[in-house]
Each structure stands twice: as structure tokens, then as C-alpha cells.
Amino acid sequence: MLWVACSGFRLFGQNGIYADFTTSMGNFTCKLEYGIAPKAVANFVALATGQRTWLDLPTGVARTNAFYNGLLFHRVVAGFVIQAGSPNGQGTDGPGYIVPDEISPSLRFSSPGILAMANTGTNSNGSQFFITVASTPFLNDGYTIFGELSSGTNVVVAISQVATNSTSHPLTNVVIQSVAIRRVGTAAQAFDIDAQGLPVVTNLTTKIATIVGGVGITFSNLLYADNRLYSSSNLTVWTPELLGIDISTPTTNTVHRAIDAPSHLYHVAQVKYASSTLAPKTFFNRTLTVNFNAGLGVITNNFDSVGGGTYVYVSGTNTYTGFSSYNWFQQPYRGDLSPIVYTGGLPVMTLRLNFTSVAGGIFNGTAYPNSMPSFAVSGAFNLN
């Protein structure tokens, strides 16, 4: 890969898919690796062009306008990266859905100018991306690389050097004015963004009927669909509620809500995932066995049907039992026990479960002992 300080915008005669960025500080171009990271490239192209729907998180409306136009480089770290793709400009949101990782040993952070998806852990890509301004091999295998800078290096370097506050947000906004997608060559023209298994975002038709003590809201649910109920009393501020993802039949098609305002308005947004969605909707009546690395033992969690349960912890010759409470947050491809609270001597923990099958996967997290520093934990888990 060649790191050349140039300000040119277009490359002619080289086949490929290119993203031409126009920003408030100048222009640059990235070549996209659609052959190695087709999902990431298809997702980026779809968002840049508005060719597929994405979810406006504050309102729950499915939109098709060009996603990146007007967004900021919200995170800039000199000598490291520039990052963008967050509608709220804080780095805490995205397009309302998740795209799984595509990590390949043929794409490495071995030089500056690498374009990759930002994430919050395994299989959590959305719309946020970053471009490196230095060799960053410590990022290898943790992020999906889907392109590289091909021109406009001087602009990217200039963005990376702007003054920032304590949270790495530029003091003067650096704005993405537009992202144009350019295809050169037969193969690039033939690349089909609709054939890469991306999530499908829609707004559903709902039926609302009065029932005893409230209302019943009925919608067309599907397996592996992330359904979100939005409610408002004024059509201005909408409150979202995650209804969960059904990964087996039957699916939940009706939810009941109390009548708690003179008038209440509802609508449902749906994100349909492929059948690879594995994390369960609840842990009710399930057994989760957590095998810790570094010889830290095994916890067998037996969850009941009302949000509690019991556990057995075996470490060496020591056995602990007791009651546990927990909060489970289901996500596509993974979920969070945050926190899981143990009695009988075990510390409170937060565990992120990354599913590789419906029966288990690997986890990482943090343990918080009383009066002691927290420490990282990891290992494998089984779910029965």
C-alpha cells in the first residue's frame, strides 16, 4: 500500500469501487475492498447512496436519504485515526442495525490510510468508520477492514491534526458534505449490494384494539426480526422500546400496553436479520455454563422463569452456591448480562456473550469484587 501525500480526487484506469468524500476541509478518496469484505462495502455503499433503508433512531422512521451527508468527524486522535458515521455526533448511535464482522488475514493495519468499521466488540458494525493515519497493527483481527485511502492523503492528515477537546471531538466541526460512490470496471459494476445478506429495515402496519385494562398492538412479526415499538403522546418526541428478537417459533405478534395518557400513538419499526441471529430473547428456564480462562473456574447458572435463579461455582476445591439476579440485553449475534449479581462470595460481573451457535460461544467481561480493583474475565460458554 502506497502512502502518498496527494490532493487529487479521482483515479482513472484502475478498476474497483471508490468512495469520493467531499468534506469541509477538502476531498479524499478510498478504494473499497468489495471482494474481501462484501457486507461492509455493501452496507457503506447503501448508506452513502440511500439505496437501502436505515432506521432513524430518534423517530423510528425507515429512511433512504444519503446517510453520511452532513455528519461530522466526531472523533479525531492525532497520529492515530479520524472517525465518523454517527448521526448524533457523539459516537453513540448508528443506522439502527448491526452487520457482522468480516475479518480477513489478507487485510491488515500495516500502514496508514486503512478504512475500517468502528465497533463496540464482536459483530457490532453499523455506520461508523475510521481511517488510520499511522501503522496500527494492534488493531488487527479486531475490526473489519473494508478499504484504503487512495488519494487525498494530505486532507486526511490535516483532519487528524485539528484541535480537539478532552473527548477527542474537534473544536471546529469537520463535516462530511457528501460521499459519492464510483464504480470502475465490469466486476465493480456487477457487485450487487442487495445480495450480501444485509438487514432489511421497514416500518410495519399495526393494528390497535382495546382490551381489558389497555390496548393490544398487533404487527407482522418474523423470525430473526428486531422489532421496536415507538410511542408518543405529541408526535414530536418518540420513545423506543425493544421488543426482542424471536429465534424460534412461535413468534410474538401482539404486545399489550396500559392506557396511560389521554392519547397515545404507536408505530413499529422492524429490522429483519438473516437466520444467523443466535442470541436468545430471554434466559428463562435456561442453564448457562460459563468456563473462565486463566483457571478461574466454572459457574453454572440456572435461570428461573421470573428473572432470577441459582448458581453453582466450582474453583479448585471450593464450591459456592446462592441466588443471582441479572439483566439480559439481547442483540443480534450477541447479548449482555449487565450486571449479573451473585451472592455467596462471588463478585458482580458484566459478561458479553458472543454466540457462535445457538448452544454457545465465547465471552468477555469484567468482574467487580468488593473492596478490590475490577479485572477482566473471558472464556467459553454453553447454553442449554
Beta bridge partners of 383: 288
Q: How far is CA 354 from CA 10, 25, 146, 160, 317, in A?
A: 40, 39, 22, 33, 29
Range with the poorest average pLDDT among 1-10, 327-336, 367-376: 1-10
pLDDT exceeds 70 at position 305:
yes
pLDDT exceeds 90 at position 316:
no
pLDDT above 90: percentage of residues in the chain: 83
Residue 253: the pLDDT is 95
pLDDT class of 7 with cuts at 50, 70, 90? very low
Closest to 38 (Cα-Cα) out of 142, 182, 178, 194: 194
Range with the poorest average pLDDT among 146-160, 259-273, 346-360: 259-273
pLDDT class of 13 with cuts at 50, 70, 90? low
pTM of the entire structure?
Answer: 0.91
Mean local confidence (pLDDT), 134-139: 98
Mean local confidence (pLDDT), 144-156: 98
pLDDT exceeds 70 at position 29:
yes
Residue 280, preceding bond cis, omega within 30 degrees?
no
Angular region, 142: left φ>0, alpha ψ -120 to 50, beta rest:
alpha
Mean pLDDT in the chain?
Answer: 93
Mean local confidence (pLDDT), 353-377: 94
Q: Which backbone phi and psi does 270 adopt, to 5 degrees? A: -130, 135
Residue 109: the pLDDT is 98
The one-letter code for the residue type at 124 is S
Residue 11: the pLDDT is 46
pLDDT exceeds 60 at position 10:
no
Residue 318: the pLDDT is 72
pLDDT exceeds 70 at position 214:
yes
Each residue's pLDDT tens digit, 254-304:
999 988 767 789 999 999 998 888 999 999 999 999 999 999 999 999 999
**Is-contact 243 330, C-beta < 8 A?**
no
**Is-contact 230 222, C-beta < 8 A?**
no
Residues with Cβ < 8 Å from 366, sequence gap 6 or more?
A: 349, 350, 374, 375, 376, 377
Q: Which backbone phi and psi does 155 adopt, to 5 degrees? A: -70, -45
Range with the poorest average pLDDT among 66-75, 260-269, 365-374: 260-269
Residue 261: the pLDDT is 67
Return the higher-pLDDT residue of 175 and 215: 175
Residue 8: the pLDDT is 41
Residues with Cβ < 8 Å from 190, sequence gap 6 or more?
A: none
pLDDT class of 361 with cuts at 50, 70, 90? very high
pLDDT class of 5 with cuts at 50, 70, 90? very low
Mean local confidence (pLDDT), 322-347: 90
